[in-house]
Amino acid sequence: MSRPPRNPDSRRLFIGKVATGIAGTLAAPPSVLGANERIRLGIIGPGARGMQLVREAIDCPNTEFAAFADVYTRRLEEAKAVVPNAKTYLDYRYLLEDKSIDAVLIATPQHLHCEHFVATLEAGKHVYQEKTMAFTVDHAKRMRAAYQNAGKRTVQIGHQSNSSGQVTDAARFLASGKVGKVTAIHAHMYRNTPHGKPQWSRPVHPDMSTETVIWKSFLGEAPAREFDANRFINWRFFWDYSGGNVYENMCHQLSFWYKIMGLKIPAAVTMTGGIYLWKDGREVPDTMNVSMEHPEEVLFTWDSGFGNNHLGNSEDVLGTDGTISRGQGIRYSPQKVNLPNEAELVGATKTPRHAHMQNFLDCVRSGAEPNCPFDVGYRVSIAARMAVESYRQQRTVEWDASKEEIV
């Protein structure tokens, strides 16, 4: 079966020649790395977020970027300008066949995460997987099977707050016993943009066409459609490829407390809202409320909107004896009705530069569990999917833990 060329310069030759199966010969598992050994990296999806991850990785000691894979030739050309000696591929499977690559960053649209994650682990590579980890429950299960079969492969999910110093502070506040029984977590995530500049909207470049974009590879398992440059570049607008702001930002705020408090997948989730502001063809809401009932008798609510940033980005963990408030900083405030003599506490643990990426690389070398392991990403993915299903079905959905299904 023919494949697209390795060089992005031959733009017309690869159209219609994208292989649909997994590469026939996958790389053998890499050898165990020494504590200071150089790590060779590749990335699938060097878009805006992907290139931010690339720069973080390059800034970490003893790393080398070896290869970029993307379905859009412009992105490969731009990536090559950052790392001139790296190889570029229009088919990510060529990257995975390179046995010298130790670890792969995956920063593709959400509906493609499962395909790339599974293939990368099957190729014997370590994985840094951007959030939200899994697009659907089925994808989450397939990714779990791949992870369980991968042996000693490091998987870090891209919830970077899990490597912040606030984790240490929040865990200390909770361990002190001064918070009491937590019954609710109230989170906000609000943004605003100038009039005429919709949140997430990206320009359609004149060069976007079937000669520069491998449309079939972008679609993956999504429904077949004729080429649409707007759907390609503004994929966050559409349910076929995106979970909206639930998958973009709620997931981060969930992951922080899921890690620290060990919260299980919600028993029930209700999401309401709508497209109240940006009537630009998007399908995902710009204003929303999510209510998640957890088995631990904790109600986690999340409000978000794109039309006013006054409330910003914050969480308040509400306990009988105190409150943990997290935003730019983190602090504990006592409930004087139960702890009249307690004083406020302010978090002071610093976050090292590129902490999450450095933690991933350190764990690739040591084999230790990373700060945001697969299980946290799995639970967050299911909660996020429940929210989307609730919104789209206009009803409360529940999690059947025995069948591992949304009902």
Q: Which amino acid is at 143?
A: M
Total-model pTM: 0.92
CATH number of 165-200+236-352+374-406: 3.30.360.10
Percent of the chain's residues with pLDDT above 70: 91
Of 25 and 62, the structure prediction assigns the larger pLDDT to 62
Q: What is the per-residue pLDDT for 44? A: 98
Q: What pLDDT shows up at residue 12? A: 37
- The pLDDT value recorded for residue 111 is 98
pLDDT tens for each residue of 242-279:
999 999 999 999 999 999 999 999 999 999 999 999 99
For residue 322, list its beta bridge partners. 334
List beta partners, residue 293. Answer: 268, 299
Helices (H) and strands (E) in the chain, counts: 12, 16
Per-residue model confidence (pLDDT) at position 32? 55
Report, as an integer, the average pLDDT of 305-330.
97
Q: Which contiguous run of DSSP H or E holds residue 215?
A: helix 215-219
DSSP letters of 101-133?
A: --EEEE---GGGHHHHHHHHHHTT-EEEEPSSS
Q: Is the pLDDT of residue 74 over 80?
A: yes
pLDDT of residue 34: 65
Give per-residue pLDDT as tens, 213-233.
999 999 999 999 999 999 999
Span 384-400, pLDDT tens digits: 999 999 999 999 999 99
Average pLDDT over residues 282-301: 98
Q: For residue 191, which phi and psi values (nearest 5 degrees)?
A: -135, 165
Whether the predicted pLDDT of 18 surpasses 90: no
